[in-house]
Protein backbone atom coordinates (compact mmCIF):
# COMPACT_ATOMS: atom_id res chain seq x y z
CA UNK A 1 0.00 0.00 0.00
CA UNK A 2 2.89 2.35 0.74
CA UNK A 3 4.30 1.90 -2.75
CA UNK A 4 0.85 2.55 -4.22
CA UNK A 5 0.77 5.94 -2.51
CA UNK A 6 4.33 6.58 -3.68
CA UNK A 7 3.18 5.87 -7.23
CA UNK A 8 0.26 8.26 -6.71
CA UNK A 9 2.77 10.97 -5.77
CA UNK A 10 4.76 10.22 -8.92
CA UNK A 11 1.53 10.63 -10.91
CA UNK A 12 0.95 13.95 -9.14
CA UNK A 13 4.46 15.05 -10.10
CA UNK A 14 3.71 14.11 -13.69
CA UNK A 15 0.52 16.20 -13.60
CA UNK A 16 2.58 19.10 -12.26
CA UNK A 17 5.04 18.61 -15.11
CA UNK A 18 2.19 18.80 -17.62
CA UNK A 19 0.99 22.06 -16.06
CA UNK A 20 4.55 23.44 -16.08
CA UNK A 21 4.96 22.59 -19.77
CA UNK A 22 1.74 24.49 -20.50
CA UNK A 23 2.15 27.61 -18.36
CA UNK A 24 5.90 28.28 -18.39
CA UNK A 25 6.23 28.68 -22.20
CA UNK A 26 3.17 30.93 -22.18
CA UNK A 27 4.83 33.02 -19.47
CA UNK A 28 8.02 33.25 -21.49
CA UNK A 29 6.10 34.33 -24.60
CA UNK A 30 4.36 37.03 -22.56
CA UNK A 31 7.73 38.19 -21.25
CA UNK A 32 9.12 38.22 -24.79
CA UNK A 33 6.24 40.33 -26.07
CA UNK A 34 5.74 42.79 -23.21
CA UNK A 35 8.76 42.89 -20.89
CA UNK A 36 11.93 43.62 -22.83
CA UNK A 37 14.01 44.08 -19.67
CA UNK A 38 13.20 40.58 -18.40
CA UNK A 39 13.76 39.13 -21.85
CA UNK A 40 17.22 40.67 -21.97
CA UNK A 41 17.94 39.36 -18.47
CA UNK A 42 16.95 35.76 -19.27
CA UNK A 43 18.19 35.66 -22.86
CA UNK A 44 17.16 33.19 -25.51
CA UNK A 45 16.27 29.68 -24.49
CA UNK A 46 15.08 30.64 -21.01
CA UNK A 47 12.92 27.53 -20.56
CA UNK A 48 15.42 25.77 -18.30
CA UNK A 49 17.60 28.79 -17.53
CA UNK A 50 18.48 28.65 -13.81
CA UNK A 51 18.09 32.43 -13.46
CA UNK A 52 14.62 32.32 -14.99
CA UNK A 53 13.54 29.40 -12.82
CA UNK A 54 14.93 31.12 -9.71
CA UNK A 55 12.98 34.24 -10.70
CA UNK A 56 9.84 32.12 -11.08
CA UNK A 57 10.22 30.28 -7.78
CA UNK A 58 11.08 33.49 -5.95
CA UNK A 59 7.90 35.16 -7.21
CA UNK A 60 9.79 37.85 -9.11
CA UNK A 61 6.88 38.19 -11.51
CA UNK A 62 4.93 40.07 -8.82
CA UNK A 63 7.25 43.08 -9.06
CA UNK A 64 6.29 43.62 -12.71
CA UNK A 65 2.78 44.78 -11.70
CA UNK A 66 1.28 42.92 -14.65
CA UNK A 67 -1.84 40.93 -13.87
CA UNK A 68 -1.50 38.90 -17.07
CA UNK A 69 2.06 37.93 -16.21
CA UNK A 70 0.99 36.92 -12.70
CA UNK A 71 -1.87 34.91 -14.18
CA UNK A 72 0.57 32.88 -16.25
CA UNK A 73 3.55 32.69 -13.93
CA UNK A 74 1.53 31.86 -10.80
CA UNK A 75 0.33 28.46 -12.04
CA UNK A 76 3.82 27.73 -13.42
CA UNK A 77 5.28 28.41 -9.98
CA UNK A 78 2.68 26.24 -8.27
CA UNK A 79 3.39 23.41 -10.71
CA UNK A 80 7.13 23.51 -9.94
CA UNK A 81 6.36 23.37 -6.22
CA UNK A 82 3.97 20.46 -6.78
CA UNK A 83 6.60 18.58 -8.78
CA UNK A 84 9.25 18.99 -6.10
CA UNK A 85 6.93 18.16 -3.20
CA UNK A 86 5.38 15.13 -4.89
CA UNK A 87 8.75 13.65 -5.85
CA UNK A 88 10.08 14.25 -2.35
CA UNK A 89 7.07 12.53 -0.80
CA UNK A 90 7.32 9.63 -3.26
CA UNK A 91 10.97 9.19 -2.34
CA UNK A 92 10.14 9.34 1.34
CA UNK A 93 7.46 6.68 0.99
CA UNK A 94 9.86 4.51 -0.99
CA UNK A 95 12.39 4.76 1.83
CA UNK A 96 9.66 3.89 4.33
CA UNK A 97 8.77 0.83 2.24
CA UNK A 98 12.39 -0.34 2.42
CA UNK A 99 12.40 -0.01 6.18
CA UNK A 100 9.10 -1.81 6.74
Per the structure, the complete domain to which residue 95 belongs is given by 2-99
**Are 91 and 3 spatial neighbours (Cβ–Cβ below 8 Å)?**
no
Long-range contacts of 52-56 (CB under 8 A, 24+ apart): 52/28, 53/80, 56/24, 56/27, 56/80
Dump pLDDT digits (tens) for 40-80. 999 888 999 999 999 999 999 999 999 999 999 999 999 99
**Per the structure, how many domains does the chain have?**
1
- pLDDT tens, 10-46? 999 999 999 999 999 999 999 999 999 999 999 888 9
Amino acid sequence: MILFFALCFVATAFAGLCAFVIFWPLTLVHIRNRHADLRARFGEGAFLNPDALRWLLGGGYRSANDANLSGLAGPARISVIVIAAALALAGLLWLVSLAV
